[in-house]
Structure formats: structure tokens, C-alpha cells
Amino acid sequence: MGSKKDGKTKVEVAERALLARINRLLAESGERIVRSRPLRGKLFRGKPVYPDVGRYYRVSGKARAVVGRDLDLGAVARELDLLKSWEIYSPPVASEA
């Protein structure tokens, strides 16, 4: 704990933590990003299949209308400037069901 950092060390941010950061920021405007569940029993080349909205989708306000489909969580976080210079996000590898 007492060692100096070399400035090149990157800390990986978990998917759940990044999603929470994004949703805290979007809550001010009444929006949020939702993680969808894979379709039960559906696989394509060994990976789970998600509904038409994709793995992540953006929902707006009281109407609960879908305003963004098939979002890249890392790209959204970079767009909103939520990742620090020493943090990285790499999406989890989909496991076979």
C-alpha cells in the first residue's frame, strides 16, 4: 500500500459498477440504461441471444419509451466522461449456457 504508482497501472471497472455510475448520472434527466436478459434456450455460435433491444438499452422518463437500443456500455461511459484516466472497462465474455 505504501508503494508509488508508476502512472501506467490501469484499474478495471466492473460492469455492474459502471452501469450504476451511468444510471446515477442519467437519473437527473429521468432516463436509465437497462440490461436485458438473454432469450431462454437461444444460442448463436455458442453465445446467448438477446431480445431486439440488445444487451443494453436506454429508457426515457415517465413514458418508459426505449430511446436507445443495443448500446455499448463502455462507449456510453466515455461519452458521459465517467471513466477516469486510470480506469478501463472491458465487456465480459459471454459464457455458454
DSSP string, 55-72: SEEEEETTTTEEEE-S--
Domains contained in the chain, number? 1
Q: Phi-psi category of 70—alpha, beta or left, where left has phi over 0 and alpha has psi -120 to 50?
A: left
Task: Answer with the residue of higher pLDDT: 27 or 37.
Answer: 27
Q: Which residues contact 71 (CB under 8 A, 6 or more apart)?
A: 33, 54, 55, 56, 57, 58
Residue 3 domain-assigned (yes or no)? no
What pLDDT score was predicted for residue 38? Answer: 82
Give the span between the Cα atoms of 21 and 87, in whole angstroms.
13
What pLDDT score was predicted for residue 1? Answer: 39
Residue 35 domain-assigned (yes or no)? yes
Residue 62 domain-assigned (yes or no)? yes
Q: What is the mean pLDDT of residues 19-41?
A: 90
Dihedral angle, C-alpha 15, 16, 20, 21, nearest 10 °: -30
Question: What's the pLDDT tens digit per position in 45-78?
Answer: 777 778 888 889 899 987 778 888 889 998 999 9
What pLDDT score was predicted for residue 2? Answer: 40
pTM of the model: 0.76
Residue 93 domain-assigned (yes or no)? no
**Banded model confidence at residue 81, pLDDT cuts 50, 70, 90:** very high
What SS3 state is found at 17? Answer: helix
